[in-house]
Amino acid sequence: MSKEKVIIFDTTLRDGEQAPGATMNIEEKLLIAKTLEKMGVDVIEAGFPAASNGDFEAVNRIAKTIKNSVICGLARAKKSDIERTAESVKPAAKPRIHTFLATSPIHMQYKLKMDKAQVLQAITESVSLARSFVPEVDWSPEDATRSKRDFLFRAIELAIKSGANTINIPDTVGYTTPEEYFDLISAIKNNVSNIDKAIISTHCHNDLGLAVANSLAAMRAGARQIECTINGIGERAGNAALEEIVMAIKTRSDFYGVETDIDSTMISRISKLVSSITGFHVQYNKAIVGANAFAHESGIHQDGILKNRETYEIMTPESVGLEKSSLVLGKLSGRAAFKDRLKEIGYELNEEMLSESFKKFKELADKKKEILDEDIVSLVDDSIVHQKSRYSLTSLEVSCGTNQEASANIKIKIDNDEAETSFLSKDGPVDAIFNAIKKIIPHNANLELYQVQAVTDGTDAQATVVVRLKQNNRIFSANGADTNVLAASAIAYINCLDKLQN
Ligand code: KIV
Ligand code: ZN
């Protein structure tokens, strides 16, 4: 018998992007959206179109590109926001508007400065306006978990009457607990007279580390849409993590009795993509996608695993896309073999992108004997994301040692020109490189983070460097990959400046 479906609503590109430093450019958002679509996400919240022209543009491009997932834009309960959002999602095959208004006493009194009657009036107007543009309207009573229940029920009833077909119950400040949230969803089902005309949705923040547990509790009470993000990124402590929700539903289908349409074998890939684009590393012991999530260290565990994997393994690494990566290509592999491998990994590139990626592959194969899938994913994603970048590294020469100043000579391509300069530093090669870049691309941003990681094992592995810069209270992150860690550092810094200046 087929199980009831739970809708997976991903808000990595909206709530996820609200995390300080997680700002993404359009190409990055598009790549994430395409990967979310490929993995079977039902609804992609692509952004907040009224927030800026860049946000509008990103949602609009995603709406034009994605065909299978619903494309949703967030709007405040304002005419101008809703009209702008409607315009932005208009090209989507399946457009949706998500509009919200706070219903808790503290938000109404201090933030909105609106009384109950004004809030109810605004709900009627905003939801019916949204519904006049699109067939799917998601409505959220912001800070629902700290709202007075009677007023919350009235507000929900009115939103449904005005045309909302999904009612999302946000735990905006991550305050609720599984038992309380279960009880709230049950009370909504029992007290809102027209609730059968809408799908109940969850949106949980992780301030108390309960976002996933709360979402699952609400699902047990009857919620059939879960809002979540890849790697759990989002405001403050983040949102419920998509990968944890999906794998809990799949692994414990005996208990939950529901299913999702997500292809869980894409989890590892999208987790790495989001981590590399945002520069937010995933903690080693993070459930499902942490580097240690499937590592068995103790002798007793290893012995058990060798005898029968199920002794200590409740899900397989393969089920989240962690197949042992095989040696795939090398220096002598041709364009056809490269293209074939790309197809197997799941990429379909146009001729221009294929040529660009193949060129990078050949350069990498000259430096690294064995090219693994992880290397290919890293270089192709990098080509896709940076295809419109103004700056790129042409060459870098560095000299340094224990008893000498470090010197860096760098050439950078800027649009169709090239600039070259040098810098001497007492503080080491990275300082010399970053200062040389600053001479060519002047800026007043501060370096907030510099982090190095290896893409694969081995001393010839590519390094990925994450650079985070802060300028005028806005934080941007970017990465760079190369087998030479100093070149990777220069690329990451240049990429971050490119993001910051666009
Ligand atoms: O956390 C929250 O309340 C939100 C709403 C806009 C749904 O993100
Ligand atoms: Zn939120």
**pLDDT tens, 486-499?**
999 999 999 999 99
Contact 89, 57 (CB under 8 A): no
- The region of weakest confidence among 21-35, 97-111, 302-316, 435-449 is 302-316
**Mean pLDDT in the chain?**
93
Separation CA 70–CA 73 (nearest Å): 10
* Nearest residue to 444 (alpha-carbon basis) of 403, 390, 501: 501
| Residue located nearest, by CA, to atom 5 of ligand 1 | 142
Compute, in angstroms, the gap from residue 234 CA to the centroid of ligand 2. 7
Across the range 337-356, mean pLDDT stands at 86
Compute, in angstroms, the gap from residue 404 CA to the centroid of ligand 1. 53
Residue 405 CB neighbours (<10 A): 15
Q: Measured from the CA of 14, which atom of ligand 1 is nearest?
A: 8
Tokens encoding 306? 């060798």
**pLDDT tens, 144-161?**
999 999 999 999 999 999
Nearest ligand to residue 202 Cα: 1
Share of the chain above pLDDT 90, in %: 76
**pLDDT tens, 47-89?**
999 999 999 999 999 999 999 999 999 999 999 999 999 999 9
Compute, in angstroms, the gap from residue 180 CA to the centroid of ligand 1. 19
- The region of weakest confidence among 13-22, 296-305, 473-482 is 296-305
Across the range 311-332, mean pLDDT stands at 82
**pLDDT band per the 50, 70, 90 thresholds, residue 142:** very high
Compute, in angstroms, the gap from residue 142 CA to the centroid of ligand 1. 6
- The region of weakest confidence among 121-125, 131-135, 378-382, 442-446 is 378-382
Separation CA 123–CA 158 (nearest Å): 7
- The region of weakest confidence among 48-62, 132-146, 407-421, 449-463 is 449-463
Q: Measured from the CA of 227, which atom of ligand 1 is nearest?
A: 7
Asked if residue 325 has pLDDT above 70, the reply is: no
| Residue located nearest, by CA, to atom 4 of ligand 1 | 172
Nearest ligand to residue 229 Cα: 2
Mutate to test the pocket of ligand 1, among 18, 98, 142, 204 (most ligand atoms within 8 A of CB): 142
Find the residues whose C-beta lies inside 6 A of ligand 1. Answer: 15, 100, 140, 142, 168, 170, 172, 203, 205
pLDDT of res. 379 = 86
pLDDT of res. 327 = 59
The H or E element that residue 334 is part of is none
Compute, in angstroms, the gap from residue 359 CA to the centroid of ligand 1. 43
Q: Measured from the CA of 239, which atom of ligand 1 is nearest?
A: 1
Mutate to test the pocket of ligand 1, among 13, 203, 229 (most ligand atoms within 8 A of CB): 203
Residue ranges with strand state E in 415-490: 417-425, 446-454, 463-471, 474-482
**pLDDT tens, 234-282?**
999 999 999 999 999 999 999 999 999 999 999 999 999 999 899 898 9
**pLDDT tens, 195-215?**
999 999 999 999 999 999 999
- Please list, residue by residue across 175-211, b when 16 or more beta carbons sit within 10 angstroms of its beta carbon and e when fewer do: bbebeebbebbeebeeebeebeebbbbbbbbbbbebb
